[in-house]
Amino acid sequence: MKLSTRSRYGLRFMIVLARSFGTGPRLLKEIADTEGLSEKYLGQLVIPLKSAGYISAVRGSRGGYELSVDPSEITPLDVVLLLEGELISHEKAGQDSPGSLKVTTALWDQLLDAVTGVLASVTLKELAGRSIDEEHQSPMFVI
Amino acid sequence: MKLSTRSRYGLRFMIVLARSFGTGPRLLKEIADTEGLSEKYLGQLVIPLKSAGYISAVRGSRGGYELSVDPSEITPLDVVLLLEGELISHEKAGQDSPGSLKVTTALWDQLLDAVTGVLASVTLKELAGRSIDEEHQSPMFVI
DNA sequence: ATTAAATTTGACAAAAATAATCAGGAAAAG
DNA sequence: CTTTTCCTGATTATTTTTGTCAAATTTAAT
């Protein structure tokens, strides 16, 4: 049960965009560099995020990506579901092989609920806020 | 974030063994057939379960596998951890790439806690009991 | 008793399928 | 004509599946 790189990279990408929401597009290359991952790979992860309408792209010089939805309207669950496809994939009871066990299905469902709960418990805006706070140690208000 | 077949198949295998705990070894082939999966593949999944001491094998005719630990002493978490390696793998904060985000790490940790909680909340014995109950609709006590 | 045969796990390798990563150049925008 | 996203294919790595034969154990036969 591993979280694929798609979700991890994708979510980090989205949080970076959330941090600079409203200040114009950001370069894929720049984000890939500071996050330490391949520009080409990230370029592919980004496609479904665009098709889903979460981000928009501007080509050419001064271009890049930016959120097209307010970060308070997006949760990690949205991002992960989009990039990961199915969370905790398992055969549904009906499709199961003859002798397979309904109990495991029930357990995976519990798991799905737990995971969904955590991922939907916070918004990109909140995560972005935390990241500015905690990572850069820069005070939010200076009087 | 997918649950690999290793965990799913392995757990189902263990529940089958739990159902017939104390009644002698069960054939891998038979279990693979009723569960609808490859005997050879299951044969490989089973190795770590054996090395960890959860099951023991008897070769030759009348042989098979059986639990060597009481099913009330094993949780799905044990099985999944053993077969899956790391649950929800993600870079630790220290190993992270320079610009990567501590917030995502925190989120994955929350996720790990949630998943761990669910998987440790029940034992193989309980799961096996449920499966006899709910799948076969056979009453537990007939008076 | 001894040997032969059948059954079942065990070890190891190969193949197939899927996922992750990288690369080249076309298309759009300034 | 430079920058940057976009499209498409190639490469590599990982996971899943299949195949072959050896080792251990029981059952049957002589």
Interface contact A2-B4, CB threshold 8 A: yes
Cα of B30 to nearest chain A Cα, Å: 11
Nucleotides of D under 7 A from a protein CB: 2-9, 15-20, 23-27
Tens of pLDDT, residue by residue over B98-117, are: 555 677 778 988 999 999 99
Check residue A1 and give its pLDDT.
Answer: 67
Q: Distance between CA atoms of B57 and B67, rounded to whole angstroms?
A: 9
Element (H, E) at B114: helix B102-119
Structure tokens that stand for A54 in this block: 């979460």
**Contacting B residues, span 65-84, partner chain A, CB-CB under 8 Å:** 76, 80, 84
- A-chain CB neighbours of B115 within 8 Å are 1, 111, 114-115
Assign A136 a pLDDT band (cuts: 50, 70, 90).
low
Interface contact B7-A1, CB threshold 8 A: yes
Q: Is the confidence at residue A93, as pLDDT, over 90?
A: no
Name the H helices within A54-123.
76-84, 102-119
Q: Is the confidence at residue A130, as pLDDT, over 50?
A: yes
| B21: nearest Cα among B54, B48, B61, B49 | B54
Beta-strand relationship, A64-67 and B64-67: unpaired
Nearest to A2 among B88, B119, B134 (CB): B88
Q: Which of A27-41, A52-66, B36-50 has the lowest mean pLDDT?
A: A27-41
Q: Distance between CA atoms of B46 and A133, rounded to whole angstroms?
A: 47
